[in-house]
Amino acid sequence: MSDRLFLAVALNDEVRHGLAAFLGERAIRLPGRPTPPNNWHLTLRFLGSTDALQRDRVLEFLDEHLIVQPFTLGFTGVGAFPKPSRATVLWLGVGRGSGDLMTMANVCEHAAISAGFEAEDRPFHPHLTLSRIRPPVSVDGLIEQVGTFPLKMDVDRVTLYRSHLGRDGASYEVIDEVLL
């Protein structure tokens, strides 16, 4: 048995609804395929196909090595990968707390390696994916239009999600949580 798993910071309802309202009030039309607000999260480590032993090892490692204290996360405005003039992923950035998020991602990376996953070769950029865009478009104007998202969020756990890929997009199920 193997599941498609990833580790992430979940949004609380206040920030989830607050962000949807923030974008709505500004009449922001997201280009491409917007991610549904219910799916919004901050990925720490994508694991992919994971068997039960690997899952348990990852959780055990996090229990033992995740020594970050609960902290407050703030956001910036929107940005894009690989660059705003040719955006394929539109995201909301992280401001305050990004150092703690990096530390968490680093521990998640070690947890993955200890469970036998290949090391991630790309650097970690904390972000909340708002839209996936093919073919790429410029989002320079949109970045100006959106501005800074003002809400803050207390982070006190890592969430292990199972991703179900379907014809209507992915849906995520909470499998476990590790408290900070």
Burial annotation 93-132 (CB, 10 A radius, 16+ → b, else e): bbeebbebbbebbebbbbbbebbebeeeeeebebbbbbbb
CB of 47 to ligand ATP, least distance (A): 9
Binding segment (CB under 6 A) for ligand ATP, from list 20-28, 65-73, 95-103, 165-173: 165-173
- 21 near ligand ATP, judged by CB under 6 A: no
Q: How far apart are CA 82 and CA 71, in angstroms?
A: 29
CB of 124 to ligand ATP, least distance (A): 9
Q: How far apart are CA 150 and CA 133, in angstroms?
A: 25
Roughly how many angstroms between the first and final C-alpha of the chain, as a whole number? 29
Per-residue x/- track, 44-63, ligand ATP (CB under 6 A): --x-----------------
Residues with Cβ < 8 Å from 143, sequence gap 6 or more? Answer: 77, 78, 79, 80, 84
Which residues from 103-162 bind ligand ATP, rule CB under 6 A? 129
Q: Which is nearer to ligand ATP, 116 or 147 (CB)?
A: 116
Binding segment (CB under 6 A) for ligand ATP, from list 51-59, 90-98, 104-112, 164-172: 164-172
Q: In this chain, which of 88, 138, 145, 163 binds ligand ATP, going by CB under 6 A? A: 163
Binding site for ligand ATP (CB under 6 A): 4, 6, 43, 46, 129, 163, 165, 169-170
